[in-house]
Structure 1
């Protein structure tokens, strides 16, 4: 997991390691989805159209 210390500075230190992201098309619109590395299930999806990926999450090829 990413570390969020010191408290109160609202900055992430490092990458989120337990999930990855991929870009998909839903109803003709591009969107980004997060997937769990442990189970392979989809965790979250950005609202369509999502031009920018999640911050700090690695991308699948």
Structure 2
């Protein structure tokens, strides 16, 4: 039987409304950059492990257009 996780487990439920992500170029390779929507500060970058792998997006973060 499935149960809900206990409160205070620091797991996010649903989309993060205060953050966005956009597809950027990092040294000629594609990367996803996460930023704070309120201050505009860049928070993290996801880049491919090597040239042959595709870049994965951040989970639950909205995309910028």
Class of the TM-score when normalised by the shorter of the 2 chains: 0.7 to 0.9
Aligned length: 56
CA RMSD of aligned residues (A): 2.4
* Mapped pair 1:20 → 2:20: yes
**Cα distance in 2, alignment partners of residues 33 and 41 from structure 1:** 10
**Cα distance in 2, alignment partners of residues 58 and 34 from structure 1:** 9
Unaligned runs of 5+ in 2: 49-53
- 1:10, distance to aligned residue in structure 2 (A): 8.6
TM-score norm. by structure 1 comes to: 0.74
* Mapped pair 1:51 → 2:50: no
TM-score norm. by structure 2 comes to: 0.70
* Corresponding position of 2:31: 31
Unaligned runs of 5+ in 1: none
* Mapped pair 1:60 → 2:59: no
- 1:33, distance to aligned residue in structure 2 (A): 0.6
More off after superposition, 50-59 vs 7-16? 7-16
